[in-house]
A and B are shown apart, each in its own frame.
Chain A
Amino acid sequence: MTKRAGTVAAAAVVFFLATLGLAQAPGGKQSYVVMAPVGNVQLRAGASTSVEMDFRIGSEFHINSHHPKADYLIPTVLKLNVPEQLTVADVKYPAGEDMAFAFAPNDKLSVYSGDFTINAVLKAPANAAAGSYPVKGELRFQACDHSACYPPRSIPVQFQVTVIKK
């Protein structure tokens, strides 16, 4: 097994195990959404890189997309707090899928279901000091199933960025 294959396999197993947690969170308050681990991100000083964050929604749920179709709906939003050595240049959300549900067959909602990926573009200034930096944040979302909805929730987002000199 190569080093990369081993890392990918480990991430896949962790994602699978975390998925089991969708139905096992305390108080019957399901997680609805879990995040796959992000491998160590390498970023050259003065450059930018796109970080893929993979999320999985429990099979019976959907969440609003980043651009839901009504003001009263709560969008999915990723917030990242980065150290001074980094900046978030952009966050790219996938387009929502227009879906109608049994509770309102004529009223399509823009939602995510199954797996979805959010890309964050991180930049390191040319004078950024080499080193490993933690990036922390949260994904806020509001989930529903075929007949009811759950209060808005947030899950933590965390990964490590290694800045290397030019």
Chain B
Amino acid sequence: MKRNALVFVVLVAAILGMLAAGKYLDRTRKHGPLKMVGNVKGVQAPDFDLATLDGRRVKLSDFRGKAVLLNFWATWCPPCKIEMPWFEELQKQYGKDGLVVLGVAMDDTEPPKIAEFAHEMGVNYQVLLGTDKVSDDYGDVQYLPTTFYIDRNGVIVDKAAGLFSRGEIENDIKKILASSHNSAAPQTSRASAGNPWAPPTKDAP
């Protein structure tokens, strides 16, 4: 009986200790500046340099002046599958107005399997291979799908975590398309060092 009571107390203490340690580590393990936490609306979208399924490199800043729908997804994510045909349709519908859809695959799977999946889903918009860095830069994207709506100046207009309706997605697309490209967009970023949308500047002689 005494032994049981002792075991019981030790186990409870161990569990409580683990919970406390988890909270402590949560506060201390992160190093460097926090990125994209809290409300990200109005924040400059961090630039990235990611590989496409066919091995090219794509930067977010390649699309300056365009409205960008940046969708984080994975092959193992059934809700992501629901959105993909919508994104394809919306890209066709609004592409002429300046919409660019970029899918960022957060799989550990080999690129050919991701490509096969995207093909089966009828996806023709650009699919990029996600990295821990881009996930971290965008606020540790763990919840898929997560979509960022980025206006023509590279500012995040909205973030949608989870599956939303086609109508809600289209409304957000209209918002980012309505923005006008300001070549002197303010550097309001909390997440990136520079403004990828700013026009290139010449080096001083």
- Residues of A participating in the B interface, judged by any CB pair closer than 8 Å: 1, 3, 6-7, 9-10, 13-14, 17-18, 20-21, 24-29, 37, 72-74, 101, 103-104, 107, 109, 142, 144, 147-152
Contacts and interface: CB of A to CB of B under 8 A. Distances in A.
Given A17-B12, A103-B82, A7 B4 contact: yes
Contacts of B16: 17
Contacts of A150: 142-144
Contacts of B25: 26
A28 B45 CA distance: 22
B73 to A, nearest CB: 9
B74 A17 contact: no
Given A24-B22, A26-B29, A6 B8 contact: yes
- Chain B contact patch, size range: 35 or more
A73 B143 CA distance: 16
B50 interface: no
Contacts, number: 96
A88 B144 CA distance: 36
Main secondary structure of the interface of B (DSSP, over half): helix
B162 A148 contact: yes
Interface in B1-48: 1, 4-5, 7-8, 11-12, 15-16, 18-19, 22-23, 25-26, 29-30
| Residue with the highest number of chain A CB atoms closer than 10 Å, among B23, B30, B162 | B162
